[in-house]
Amino acid sequence: MNTEGLDGLLPKEKIKEIEQSRSKEHQITTVRINDPSLITNLETAKVTFNGEAENKWLTLVLSWVIPALLFFILWSFLIKRMSSTAGGVLDVGKSKAKVYMEKKTHVSFQDVAGVDEAKTELMEVVEFLKNPQHYTRIGAHIPKGVLLVGPPGTGKTLLARAVAGEAGVPFFSINGSEFVEMFVGVGAARVRDLFIHARETAPAIIFIDELDALGRARGAYPISGGHDEKEQTLNQLLSEMDGFDPSEGLILLAATNRPEILDPALLRAGRFDRHVLVDRPDKMGRIEILLVHLKKIKQAPDVDPEKIAALTPGFSGADLANLVNEAALLATRHNADSVGMDDFTNAIERIVAGLEKKNRLLNPNERKIVAYHEMGHTLVALSLPNVDQAHKVSIIPRGIGSLGYTIQRPTEDRYLMTEEELKNKMKVLLGGRAAEFIVFARFSTGAADDLAKATDIARSMVMRYGMDKNLGPVTYQKEHSSFLDVSMGHNEQEFSEKTACEIDTAVRKIIQSAFDDAVTLIKKHIKSLEAGAQLLLQKETLNEKDLIALKIK
């Protein structure tokens, strides 16, 4: 075999091996070589050769099909991942409403207590969904929208779910803030999508919680302009409410604790026709709520719902549910077989006054000041008529800044207070400061919160209730527009500087008079103050029986 012309085509070692064994034939397999002179060189060297045509399909598959397939698989995975998450890019205009399509929310009116008036109002909605012909036969129609108004924790959402549970219809639940996004038009698209889905499953109930996040009055923020995302979303909601017929069985429920900031167009007749107040429960309402939650725990025979209700004025339904749970946790902590009345009392103190600060050690002088201070409150409360009676007094530090506390138990729910009752309330607040002044002839910082509360009462008496003779029956302070009695902003002064000075003088006069009366009252019962303070230093906590034994009257 002539090896000329193979240089550059084969390695030198291979060429040398061929030259040494010329008598043998060698078969060499190689890949395609892009060399125009290859065939000429092979013929010159008298090499027998053959070749196969290139398989272009394999090249195509390896070069294009497999990468494209991998890209498609990756893209499908990403699309599925984005669409499965809330707020996905492709579902940005879809409604985020949680839909209870099993037609049962597992909540009925039996689970709702303490709001009988609201339940009565909403029973009409249930009856309409169950038997619409009963109303339509005489031309009546159910309100398109029902607005549940009330402070947080009073059971507005629970009521809405109870309506759906009683009626046995699908329940669409969504928060008002979930409509609004940073992209303009997204909120309006979600409103449309929500109503489309609800119409497809009618009869149904749409519930929008925290409506104030969506229905704030337009023009409240003029700097945002007329094309604000929230305004477009609100406009779409108004359009949808005008566009559906109540006879379809589609009812819109909404809840808010700030009705004063809602857009007037949202509240007009034909949209939210009916406003249902869901307020904090009274004493009987609290008893009913407690009975509902007490069924869920193992309670001791001494548990008295009426006493618990008397100790929890102003508690909402959510507060009472939390109270029952806290009492159960405290009972579990000391391995009790059931939840007793002491657990409820401790749970109330834990919620109202805060956690016990067992590691906050007071020096003997401070403990003595706190003991006389708290007994001053208690003594004045037990001595005056028409005042919430002292239930418990303690010098165990609780919460952030409380070194002691006195718990008063109202005898009944009150909605009005006379001038005398307001002054007596101030005397109780200033009783601790008066006791410090009598015993130690100096003041401490412990009365700071008492002074703030007394000042608020005195200022309200002068500026809101017209209870000062010199200033007359005139109000100098506008009623707070907020439903929760919280000012929305700075109140402009609408009276002269001279009147402002007279107001300050009248406020100081009322507070000083209440303080002087508290001092006189404590001096009259100075022996009871000494005995009570010494007993409090010894036991750290005095209950109602201990206070009765002091015979302070």
**What positions carry a catalytic annotation?**
374
Known binding residue 406? Answer is no
Q: Please, what's the b/e burial string for 488-523 (b: 16 or more CB within 10 A of its CB; e: otherwise)?
A: eeeeeeeeeeeeeebbeebbeebbeebbebbbebbe
Secondary structure (3-state) at 143:
coil
Residue with the two structure tokens 């009248």: 506
Tell whether 150 is in a known binding site: yes
Q: Confirm whether residue 377 is marked as ligand binding.
A: yes
The reply, when asked if residue 94 is annotated as ligand binding, is no
Cβ–Cβ < 8 Å for 477, 491? yes
What is the per-residue burial (b if ≥16 Cβ within 10 Å, else e) of 385-410?
eebbebbbbbbbbbeeebbbbbbbeb
First to last CA, the chain: 135
Least Cα distance to 517 among 449, 431, 456 occurs for: 431
Residue 371 contacts residue 395 (beta carbons within 8 Å)? yes
One-letter amino acid at 315 equals F
Q: Would you say 259 is a known binding-site residue?
A: no
Sheet containing strand 145-149, strands side by side:
98-100, 171-175, 204-209, 250-256, 145-149, 272-277
Asked if 280 and 316 touch (Cβ cutoff 8 Å), the reply is yes
343 is in an annotated binding site: no
Angle at 486 between CA 479 and CA 207, to 5 degrees: 110
Please indicate if the annotation marks 373 as binding a ligand: yes
By CB neighbour count within 10 A (0-12 exposed, 13-18 middle, 19+ buried), where does 156 fall? buried
Report strand pairing: 204-209 vs 171-175.
Answer: parallel
Tokens found for residue 443? 């003041």
In sequence order, the β-bridge partners of residue 356 are 398
156 is in an annotated binding site: yes
Task: Report the distance separating Cα 476 and Cα 499, nearest Å.
Answer: 9
* 256 labelled binding-site residue: no
**CA nearest 277: which of 480, 112, 481, 118?**
118
CB 235 within 8 A of CB 243: no
Check whether 153 is labelled as a binding-site residue: yes
Which residues line the annotated binding site? 150-157, 373, 377, 450
Which residues line the annotated binding site for ATP? 150-157
Which residues line the annotated binding site for Zn(2+)? 373, 377, 450
